[in-house]
Amino acid sequence: MKSINILLLAITLVAGQACSPKAETDEKTAETEAATKVTTTAEERHEAFEKKRIALEEKRKLIQEERIKASMTYTDKDGHLVYNKAEENPSFNGGDRAMKTFLRENVKFPKDAESEGLDGTVYVDFVVSSDGNVREVGSTNIPNEVVDPRFVNEAIRVVKSMPRWLPGRQHGKAVDVSYTIPITFEIAS
């Protein structure tokens, strides 16, 4: 009988604490802390993503510079001469702002990747031919760079759908030029 009374007293104390205003305050504090932590985590995630993206961009820039030093041109699989860098590089019709608008309007974040909380940057390599058409669209990774294939497929799809560019020029003549653009997939925080 004594142990039942002690048990009832313990249950009464626990129930009383759960119903007290302090318990409600503690719950609200915990909820506020959790919300703050989520915000901080999203900000930290964005910062980490940006640092990683910038580091990869720098690595790619160095690789491109080395490729240009090694050879200003190469011959593609169809026998066309392609410049790694021309005196005047190709440009999206309307400039960078128009290209960003095109990408924003046409790139679709893969739903399943979004629900998984994934993000990443795809570097899409392609050739802008002397008539301004985009061809040989693909994506290459540098060592230790992993990009979700759903992002790669979407980025390639969008670049293949691009309208004609203004072609690159070498000695005043339109030429085929290789080009790379980054397409970033990031969940807005």
Domain count, the chain: 1
Q: Are 157 and 10 in contact (CB under 8 A)?
A: no
β-partners of residue 179 are 126
Instruction: Give pLDDT, residue 25.
Output: 45
Whether the pLDDT of residue 109 is over 60: the answer is: yes
DSSP 88: B
For residue 99, the domain's CATH number is 3.30.2420.10
Residue 78 domain-assigned (yes or no):
yes
Instruction: Return the closest-CA partner of residue 109 out of 33, 187, 181, 24.
Output: 187
Q: Are 107 and 154 in contact (CB under 8 A)?
A: yes
Task: Report the pLDDT averaged over residues 98-120.
Answer: 91
Residue 26 lies in a domain: no
Query: Is the distance from CB of 123 to CB of 140 less than 8 angstroms?
Result: yes
Sign of CA pseudo-dihedral 94, 67, 48, 126:
positive
**pLDDT score, position 41:** 76
> Cβ contacts of residue 177 below 8 Å, gap of 6+?
82, 83, 84, 85, 86, 89, 90, 127, 128, 167, 168
Asked whether residue 13 is assigned to any structural domain, the reply reads no
Residue 99 lies in a domain: yes
Q: Is 57 domain-assigned?
A: no
Percent of the chain topping pLDDT 90: 43
Q: Which domain holds residue 95?
A: 72-185
Residue 56 lies in a domain: no
Cα distances (Å, whole numbers) of residue 108 to 113, 125, 150, 157, 186: 11, 19, 10, 10, 11
Q: What is the pLDDT of residues 80-100, one digit of tens each?
A: 999 999 999 999 999 999 999
Is residue 28 included in any domain, yes or no?
Answer: no
**pLDDT tens per residue across span 11-25:** 333 334 334 444 444
- Residue 160 belongs to a domain: yes
Grouping H, G, I as helix, E, B as strand and the rest as coil, residue 80 is coil
